[in-house]
């Protein structure tokens, strides 16, 4: 069998030029540049590395470098929840900044790409970066197809000899199944699949990668990771932030499109996948893809029964008053866009038949938390007088993705004393107690992986389409059918009541978000 060997990690990346489209945008300033700076500081980038920052309007390079430095200073080592934790390393920044070139051009004009081709050649000569290049598309999604075609038209995607050309495409990859397919078709006419790195920043999070390590590097979990031992699984991605300054994007998108086919399904497929044959990018992505393919298709009646949509109303977050979604700047006063979604899915395969997966994600909830909770089946029989089985503490293995990174196991224990009284206890593992590492944005891993050519943490064309295929029937039904009501929940609450009913119906309940 012809199996490619994953490239070695933790070594200096090979020389390359990184071309950032959308270099003047928020994402570059907030996430991408801090990640590149962290990589430079950790000496993971080659000395022969350069950046071409592509932006619409011309700017003196010094002013542009200073603009990026501001972003790096305020966001570096910053988890979304807290302030920067490390001093800014002026020397590392100065060295990186000296390798940044600014390039202005209209991304819809072919002349821009002809000029870019010249600049890329000059930059490669000046910084000895050779012929390797990563094109990072941190731009509005409508431009993805155009940029790839234009790069192809001037020969910038052509790989000569051992020189490679790769393209990182940010989210959102399409806004429904048809548009995702159309975009894949369009870019695959120019690029080969191994040249395409479709981004889902959740995969850059250490704790998300740890799901695979926990499952496949420990002997104790896999034997019980199935329908014989697991009652159900809950996946929660709760945010306290509201729509922020993104009303234009969010009004047309909503929580389902924004979070489910991508981030939530990454968590789902890593939790439910079969062990891959190796940690090779394609082996892992094939197993993840199979999970989404096995999700039981939802028809009209099931969607009405098994999905819940909500929108935040007025409320309070940590004691601070918070306005309703419909009062946010840029949002229509009668907007029907959902800011919360919960659903119950089934996975039709031997491992998971009969095990419901409950997923929920929403904005303006009580607390920011992302976790996967594996609820194991109850002990079959209670030996203990006066303690019925259903009063035993359920065994729950919770994988905490953010902001508290770790895992915990809940079980029953005897309360000390003459009586046999049982109480629920919890065993906790916290990343910060064991590993002395600074939290990262997650982009470090992904940028580094792209430069070393490891696509395991990126989406393949079939994976993206499989995610959209699962949610498409929901999008279709919600559009025309009002039988799944849009429930208003107070900002700062745990979400709409309908989400609780989704579990109560089968005698279960959500883990508290608070
Ligand atoms: C983005 C969504 O992809 O992920 C946002 O567009 C969401 O709406 C964000 O807030 C969540 O990411 P993180 O890393 O802050 O949990």
The three-class DSSP label of residue 67 is helix
Tell me the two tokens of residue 184.
């894949």
Whether residue 80 has its Cβ less than 6 Å from ligand 1: yes
CA 186, 187, 189, 194 torsion: positive or negative?
negative
The three-state DSSP-derived secondary structure of 159-209 is: CCCCCCEEEEECCCCCCCHHHHHHHHHHHHCCCCHHHEEECCHHHHCHHHH
CA of 208 from ligand 1 middle (Å) equals 14
Q: What is the DSSP string of 239-301?
A: -----TT-HHHHHTTHHHHHHIIIIIHHHHHHHHPPPPSSS-HHHHHHHHHHHHHHBPPP-HH
Closest atom of ligand 1 to CA, residue 262? 3
CA of 288 from ligand 1 middle (Å) equals 21
d(C-alpha 18, C-alpha 309), whole Å = 40
d(C-alpha 218, C-alpha 204), whole Å = 22
Closest atom of ligand 1 to CA, residue 370? 16
Q: What is the pLDDT along the chain (514 residues), one digit of tens a residue?
A: 334 455 567 789 999 999 999 999 999 998 999 999 999 999 999 999 999 999 999 999 999 999 999 988 887 644 433 444 667 889 999 999 999 999 999 999 999 999 999 999 999 999 999 999 999 999 999 999 999 999 999 999 999 999 999 999 999 999 999 999 999 999 999 999 999 999 999 999 988 999 999 999 999 999 999 999 999 999 999 999 999 999 999 999 999 999 999 999 999 999 999 999 998 999 999 999 999 999 999 999 999 999 999 999 999 998 999 999 999 999 999 999 999 999 999 999 999 999 999 999 999 999 999 999 999 998 877 666 666 656 678 899 999 998 988 999 999 888 898 877 788 899 999 988 888 776 577 899 999 999 999 999 999 999 999 999 999 999 999 998 788 999 999 999 999 999 999 999 999 999 999 6
CB atoms under 10 Å from CB of 98, counted, come to 10
Q: Closest residue (by CA) to atom 2 of ligand 1?
A: 258
Determine the pLDDT at residue 11: 86
Output phi, psi for 63, to 5 deg: -65, -40
Whether residue 239 has its Cβ less than 6 Å from ligand 1: yes
Whether residue 171 has its Cβ less than 6 Å from ligand 1: yes
DSSP annotation of 28 reads I
Q: Is the pTM of this model over 0.85?
A: yes
Closest atom of ligand 1 to CA, residue 250? 8
Whether residue 258 has its Cβ less than 6 Å from ligand 1: yes
Q: Closest residue (by CA) to atom 8 of ligand 1?
A: 258
| Cα–Cα distance list, 8 to 22, 37, 145, 435 (Å) | 30, 21, 32, 22
Exposed e or buried b for every residue in 259-273, given b needs 16+ CB within 10 A? bbbbbbbbbbbbbbb
d(C-alpha 62, C-alpha 401), whole Å = 39
Tell me the two tokens of residue 464.
């993206």
CA of 263 from ligand 1 middle (Å) equals 8
Q: Closest residue (by CA) to atom 6 of ligand 1?
A: 258
Pocket test for ligand 1, best of 170, 237, 252, 263 (most atoms within 8 A of CB): 263
* Domain 16-170 shares a fold with domain 203-375+402-410+428-504: no
- Is 263 one of the annotated active-site residues of the chain? yes
Catalytic position from the list 201, 232, 263, 375: 263
DSSP annotation of 34 reads H
Q: Closest residue (by CA) to atom 4 of ligand 1?
A: 259
CA of 325 from ligand 1 middle (Å) equals 17
Q: Any idea where the domains of the chain sit in the sequence?
A: 16-170, 203-375+402-410+428-504
d(C-alpha 491, C-alpha 437), whole Å = 34
Whether residue 363 has its Cβ less than 6 Å from ligand 1: no
Whether residue 371 has its Cβ less than 6 Å from ligand 1: no
Pocket test for ligand 1, best of 239, 365, 368, 443 (most atoms within 8 A of CB): 239
Whether residue 392 has its Cβ less than 6 Å from ligand 1: no
CA of 490 from ligand 1 middle (Å) equals 21
DSSP annotation of 148 reads H
Whether residue 200 has its Cβ less than 6 Å from ligand 1: no
CA of 103 from ligand 1 middle (Å) equals 29
CA of 241 from ligand 1 middle (Å) equals 10
Closest atom of ligand 1 to CA, residue 402? 16
CA of 266 from ligand 1 middle (Å) equals 13
Determine the pLDDT at residue 432: 85
* Cβ atoms of 407 and 400 closer than 8 Å: yes
d(C-alpha 109, C-alpha 115), whole Å = 11
* Cβ atoms of 344 and 332 closer than 8 Å: no
CA of 295 from ligand 1 middle (Å) equals 24
CATH architecture of 203-375+402-410+428-504: 2-Layer Sandwich (3.30)
d(C-alpha 493, C-alpha 20), whole Å = 39
d(C-alpha 327, C-alpha 332), whole Å = 8
Whether residue 30 has its Cβ less than 6 Å from ligand 1: no
Determine the pLDDT at residue 80: 38
d(C-alpha 332, C-alpha 150), whole Å = 36
Pocket test for ligand 1, best of 26, 169, 201, 261 (most atoms within 8 A of CB): 201
Which numeric CATH code is attached to 16-170?
A: 3.40.50.720
CA of 378 from ligand 1 middle (Å) equals 35
CB atoms under 10 Å from CB of 149, counted, come to 16
Query: At how many degrees (to 10) do helices 90-97 and 61-75 cross?
Result: 140
């Amino acid at each position: 069998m012809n199996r490619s060997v994953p490239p070695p990690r933790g070594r200096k990346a090979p020389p390359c030029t990184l071309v950032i489209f959308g270099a003047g945008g928020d994402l570059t300033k907030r996430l991408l540049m801090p990640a590149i700076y962290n990589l430079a500081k950790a000496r993971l980038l080659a000395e022969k590395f350069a950046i071409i920052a592509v932006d619409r309007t011309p700017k003196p390079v010094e002013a542009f470098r200073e603009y990026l430095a501001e972003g790096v200073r305020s966001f570096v080592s910053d988890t979304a929840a807290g302030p920067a934790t490390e001093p800014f390393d002026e020397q590392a920044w100065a060295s990186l900044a000296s390798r940044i070139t600014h390039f202005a051009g209209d991304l819809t004009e072919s002349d821009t790409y002809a000029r870019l081709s010249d600049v890329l050649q000059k930059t490669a000569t000046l910084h000895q970066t050779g012929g390797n290049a990563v094109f990072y598309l941190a731009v509005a999604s409508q431009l993805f197809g155009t940029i790839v075609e234009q790069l192809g038209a001037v020969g910038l995607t052509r790989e000569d000899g051992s020189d490679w050309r790769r393209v990182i495409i940010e989210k959102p990859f399409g806004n429904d199944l048809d548009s995702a397919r159309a975009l894949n078709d369009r870019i695959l006419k120019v690029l080969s699949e191994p040249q395409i790195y479709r981004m889902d920043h959740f995969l850059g999070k250490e704790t998300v990668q740890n799901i695979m390590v926990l499952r496949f590097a420990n002997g104790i979990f896999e034997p019980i990771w199935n329908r014989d031992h697991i009652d159900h699984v809950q996946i929660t991605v709760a945010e306290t932030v509201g729509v922020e300054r993104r009303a234009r994007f969010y009004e047309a998108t909503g929580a389902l499109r924004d979070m489910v086919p991508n981030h939530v399904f990454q968590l789902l497929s890593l939790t439910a996948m079969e062990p891959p044959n190796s940690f090779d990018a394609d082996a892992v992505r094939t197993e993840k893809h199979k999970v989404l393919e096995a999700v039981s298709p939802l028809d009209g009646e099931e969607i009405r029964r098994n999905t819940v949509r909500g929108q935040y109303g007025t409320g309070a977050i940590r004691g601070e008053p918070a306005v309703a979604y419909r009062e946010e700047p840029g949002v229509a006063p009668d907007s029907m866009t959902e800011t919360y979604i919960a659903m119950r899915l089934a996975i039709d395969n031997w491992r998971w038949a009969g095990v419901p997966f409950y997923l929920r994600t929403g904005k303006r909830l009580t607390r920011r938390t992302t976790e996967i909770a594996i609820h194991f089946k109850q002990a079959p029989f209670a030996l203990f007088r006066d303690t019925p089985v259903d009063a035993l503490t359920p065994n729950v293995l919770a994988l905490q993705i953010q902001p508290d990174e770790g895992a915990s196991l809940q079980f029953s224990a005897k309360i000390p004393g003459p009586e046999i009284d049982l109480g629920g206890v919890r065993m906790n593992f916290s990343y910060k107690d064991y590993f002395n590492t600074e939290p990262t944005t997650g982009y470090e891993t992904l940028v580094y992986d792209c430069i070393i050519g490891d696509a395991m943490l990126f989406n393949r064309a079939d994976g993206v389409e499989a995610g959209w295929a699962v949610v498409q029937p929901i999008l279709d039904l919600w559009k025309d059918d009002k039988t799944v009501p849009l429930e208003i929940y107070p900002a700062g609450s745990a979400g709409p009541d309908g989400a609780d009913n989704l579990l109560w119906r089968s005698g279960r309940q959500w883990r508290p978000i608070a």
